[in-house]
A and B are shown apart, each in its own frame.
Chain A
Amino acid sequence: MKELLEDDPGKEILLLGNEAIVRGALEAGIGHGSTYPGTPSSEIGNTFEKIAKDYGMYFEYSANEKVALETAAAAAVSGVRSMAWMKHVGVNVASDALMTLMYAGTRAGMVIVAAGDPSMHSSQNEQDNRFYSQLGNIPMLEPTTPQEAKEMVKHGFDLSEKLELPVLVRTTTRVNHARGVVTFGDLEEPDGEGHFEKDPARFVAVPQNSVKNHPILLERMERAEEITEGSEFTYSIEVDNPELHVISSGAGFNYIREAKEEYDLPISILKLGMTNPLPIEEIKNYIQGAERVLIVEELEPFLEEKVEALAKEINPGLEIYGKKSGNFSRLYEYNPDRIKEALAELIDFEDETEALRPEEYDLPSRPPSLCPGCPHRATYYAVKKALGDREGVFSSDIGCYTLGVQDPLNTADILLCMGSSVGAAGGFSKNTDQQAFAFLGDSTFFHSGLAPLVSGVYNDHDFVYVIMDNRTTAMTGHQPHPGTGKTGMGDPAPMISIGDLAKGAGVEFVETVDPYNIEETIDVFERAIEHDGISVVVPKHPCALIEQREVDWSSYQVNQEECKQCHICTNQFGCIALVRENDKVIIDETQCVGCGQCAQVCPFDAIEQGVEQ
């Protein structure tokens, strides 16, 4: 990714949307970047991790999104261009700071990238973050392609400085995780050290200041209303006598544009780039003489309701097609088929393909699962063994370990968001007679596991708090965190001890165990369950994907002469390398990583190395 640092304007390069966002920031002279990793925004941080030092900027993985936003805000008010990025739900975490930051505004440019995930490819919900722009009065840009994402981020810094407000760049998975050809612009030098000019009336949000700063925010947004008209990112694709007008923003625009060109459709399209504030005059002009307009936007009817209101004013007869008319849904991301279906209801349009007609068979589903060798699997197995016949409530969290929800482990009963496992487990301990467990990872613990720990000790909650320490932020691509001893810039850092933090909070039962030693892990959980009050267990073993890069293991096999076909390995432990062929169990050697956990689980010692299956 060193190519991103080349000062070679005009160069064409194939970039992931997230890499293009990084390049946009480099072309704007970013001095500070901060984030907490989250799909689909993670590769922005992964990329800065590799180049921040060489470029000469500061970059950090903050403990959570709120900290990421606050550190970036401090940079921007001190004259250093900054960017904070996060997944859509990360904005929920950061929103407390963000809503008030808008009142103060910023000095140097500040861009916030909020990456949405329509269809929930890797998320717990598909909230439409465009509404944050209205809630907080945040100027917003919505890119459609990697190239535009780069341009909008770069432009976002200038816009932010013009308005003295942070600018929201709202993306979605099909922008962040699309890869396309991007043309480089000029590379800027990074902003150096800043200086914070004190101005308490502006920056200290006590009531007497906030009452004065709120109207300033509204004035700044009035300025934004002028700027949004004629934005370079808003343009229309015209045809003579269009049969249908289309208004679109975000990834949905790509499909409607493609359909128009591919089938030479008699439709015109108004593509909006800056969507808060909306360019009211441009939209009015566009719909004034129109008879029918189709609104193409993923998720909520954000544009549609605005167009509806404007039409009442200037073109009451306008037929508006979108989510309310039933042409589109408020659910999930769009794709070429959904666009074509909507178009077919409104204009003459034939799409001829001769479909294949193979036999219909029930295909098995293939949900994601814990990897072969994953230490979480052993932890879950041990918890269930320790519980025996007693009923546990398993309060889960955001990370790979959520995959305990699958058969045969079934160790996730409730999950809301980052850190929710802990508060919920405390609530179960106070309100049910079931043995409560909180399961969360090391990175999630630092993100939002501390406050509910303290709250739980204070309020005498009684549950087993399991912090599954695999030494990394695994799900999002192995970023370092406060417990790993390394910063986002690759510098050494204090390795903050999870056990010591728990002890410091007053927890009496704190034990660390290697889950690869299953017998010992069961013993620890048996004692943790018996303990009154919060007991903290830290099953600690590196993520298998990382360990496999360093350890050369050979795979195991099932010795069929010893195997009694009891199926404990498949039905209770359930590593995906254990494959059942009718009653016979074999190990898929292309998947087995040789961790040996299943050999410990087998009561007949039938899983060995170096035997024929």
Chain B
Amino acid sequence: MKRVDLEIVGVGGQGILTSSQVIGAAALEKDLDVYMSEVHGMAQRGGVVVTTVKIGEEVHSPLIGKGDADIILGFEPIETYRAIEQASKKTWIVTNRQPIVPFTVSVGTENYPDLEDKILPSLEKSTDKLISLNAEELAKEAGAAITQNIVMLGGLTATDVLPLTHDDILRAVENKVPERFVDVNLKAFEKGFDKAKEIIESK
């Protein structure tokens, strides 16, 4: 099999580490080699967080080169945009539409570019492999806004790029989250999965 490189980007505190660990665990369960890089320490305090998950028969390094990502999973739209140089025409981009405004914008030193008129249309134009989700809305429909990361995992799974099935990842989610939150997380996963499938089929 060809190696699959996944880059997950977003903001510290969005549950990115949990998401990458879910995928890693699912891959190990299928006897695949996995190599990941994580972010701990200062960047977790509201800064940009980039984690990688590389899955294959034998994986030698944890980082991904420019243009080499098979999937970019973006938890925040401008962070998805910032990571775009990791993408090429082959790359699936699954992004959350919900912005998290950095304090540099709130204190007035920088601007947040217009999402609906600039960022998202520009992404749409540059690739036909874009899935954008409103993860907050879907997570609330599932029953808890905090499950946004699992909604995004559902969206990622729908691309079928990972060498892992819907059930593989669902099982890993079940094993990862605390028991009393399993139901809401499984629901969140299905919400993200179904919405993304709908988008893919309409393409």
Interface residues of A (CB under 8 A from B): 12-14, 16, 39-40, 42-43, 121-122, 145, 174, 177-181, 254-255, 257-258, 261, 335-337, 340, 351, 353-359, 361-371, 400, 403, 406-408, 475-477, 567, 570-571, 574, 576, 578-580, 588, 590-591
Known: A365-B102, A477-B40. A336 touches B45 (CB 8 A): no
| Residues on the A chain within 8 Å of B89, using CB | 354, 356
Q: Which of B12, B101, B102 is most buried by chain A, counting CB atoms within 10 A of its CB?
A: B101
Contact B61 A371 (CB under 8 A): no
**Interface 0/1 of B40-62, CB less than 8 Å to A:** 11111111100000000001111
| Residues on the A chain within 8 Å of B109, using CB | 407
User: How distant is the Cα of A567 from the Cα of B24 in the complex, in angstroms?
Assistant: 44
Query: Which residue of B is nearest A477, CB measured?
Result: B40
Contact B118 A361 (CB under 8 A): yes
How many residue pairs between the two chains, A and B, have CB atoms under 8 Å in the bound complex?
A: 194
CB distance from B121 to the nearest CB of A (A): 9
Contact B41 A121 (CB under 8 A): yes
Contact A353 B66 (CB under 8 A): yes
| Residues on the B chain within 8 Å of A16, using CB | 38
Contact B102 A574 (CB under 8 A): no
- What are the 7 A-B residue pairs with the smallest beta carbon separation, nearest first? A122-B41, A353-B67, A39-B41, A368-B47, A336-B65, A254-B61, A364-B110
Contact A174 B84 (CB under 8 A): no
Taking A42-B41, A353-B67, A358-B81 as given, write out 10 further A-B residue pairs in contact, using a Cβ cutoff of 8 Å, ordered by the A residue number. A39-B41, A40-B40, A42-B40, A174-B63, A336-B68, A351-B65, A353-B68, A354-B88, A356-B87, A580-B101
Known: A14-B28, A39-B40, A40-B40. A180 touches B106 (CB 8 A): no
User: How distant is the Cα of A597 from the Cα of B51 in the complex, in angstroms?
Assistant: 33
How many residues belonging to B are interface residues under a CB distance threshold of 8 Å? Answer: 67
Q: Can you give 12 A-B contacts (C-beta < 8 A)?
A: A121-B43, A122-B43, A335-B63, A353-B90, A356-B88, A358-B81, A361-B113, A366-B46, A366-B79, A576-B106, A579-B106, A590-B145
Contact A179 B103 (CB under 8 A): no
Interface residues of B (CB under 8 A from A): 11-13, 21, 24-25, 28, 33-48, 59-68, 78-79, 81-82, 84-85, 87-91, 100-113, 118-119, 122-123, 125-127, 136, 145
CB distance from B62 to the nearest CB of A (A): 4
Contact A179 B118 (CB under 8 A): no
User: How distant is the Cα of A571 from the Cα of B104 in the complex, in angstroms?
Assistant: 11
Contact B107 A570 (CB under 8 A): yes
Partner of A43, one of B36, B40, B62, B119: B40
Partner of A353, one of B33, B46, B62, B88: B88
| Residues on the B chain within 8 Å of A181, using CB | 28, 33-35
| Residues on the A chain within 8 Å of B61, using CB | 254-255, 257-258, 336
| Residues on the A chain within 8 Å of B67, using CB | 353-355
Please classify the interface of chain A as helix (H, G, I), strand (E, B), loop, or mixed, using the class held by over half of its residues. Answer: loop
| Residues on the A chain within 8 Å of B118, using CB | 359, 361
User: How distant is the Cα of A604 from the Cα of B120 in the complex, in angstroms?
Assistant: 38
| Residues on the A chain within 8 Å of B91, using CB | 356
| Residues on the B chain within 8 Å of A257, using CB | 60-61
Contact B42 A475 (CB under 8 A): yes
| Residues on the A chain within 8 Å of B41, using CB | 39-40, 42, 121-122, 475-476
Q: Which of B11, B46, B112 is most buried by chain A, counting CB atoms within 10 A of its CB?
A: B46
| Residues on the B chain within 8 Å of A179, using CB | 21, 24, 34-38, 62
Contact A358 B84 (CB under 8 A): yes
User: How distant is the Cα of A367 from the Cα of B45 in the complex, in angstroms?
Assistant: 9
CB distance from B134 to the nearest CB of A (A): 13
Known: A366-B46, A370-B45. A122 touches B105 (CB 8 A): no
CB distance from A145 to the nearest CB of B (A): 8
